[in-house]
Amino acid sequence: MKTVLLTGFGPFGSITDNPSSTLIKSIDPHLEQKSILSKILSLPVSYSRAPTLIDNVLNYKKFDLILGFGLHRGQDFRLETTAKPYPTSQGKDYDGDTGSVFEPINHHQLYTTLDAEELLNQANQKEPWIRKSTDASGYVCEAIYHRLLSHAVKTDTDCAFIHIPSFDFQPKEKQLELILNLIELALK
């Protein structure tokens, strides 16, 4: 049986119900029907607290696939391929901190461990819906993606991060369908 770690984020700013956490919580029962075990982590939008939660899981359990999800303000889906070790955004997290408090495990820029081009080609066969991105935002999403990739590299695990649009741009049911398909493709 395959295992997947899915991470999303909790509230921040004016976002009281973060679609990234709502989406991953909705995915769980569908994966179970496909004999895929998942661990769901809804992370605080915090440079210091979120990495600790990730470390508490990934230091003790190996997964076949790690997928992080975050919300972005655009209308499209973005498969992030790159994560820098130091957040560049000056925006404050939920705790009021900037990226200067983030402590990376690895001090190198890291790249998705999935074949991004092949995954995108397969995912976009029926309809183009997700694009490649090399800019994971420089905010908490990028810091968390870097943390997930640091663990993935150590354990030879496939890992990626996907920025999703709000449900105003793409309804939850459609996002669920697209992401479930992407997970199945990534696990092949």
Give the tens place of pLDDT for each residue, 34-61: 999 999 999 999 999 999 999 999 999 9
Residue 108 is predicted with a pLDDT of 95
Q: How many CA atoms lie within 13 A of 10 on its CB side?
A: 12
Identify whether the C-beta of residue 151 lies closer than 8 Å to the C-beta of residue 58.
Answer: yes
How many CB atoms are located within 10 Å of the residue 80 CB?
25
pLDDT grade for 154, boundaries at 50, 70 and 90: very high
* Domain span at 137: 2-187
3-state secondary structure of 91: coil
Beta bridge partners of 164: 71
Would the pLDDT of 126 be above 90? no
**Structure tokens belonging to residue 167:** 């449900």
Instruction: Tell me the average pLDDT across 59-73.
Output: 95
pTM for the predicted model, two decimal places: 0.96
Residue 181 is predicted with a pLDDT of 94
Which CATH number goes with the domain that contains 154? 3.40.630.20
Q: Report the domain count for the chain.
A: 1
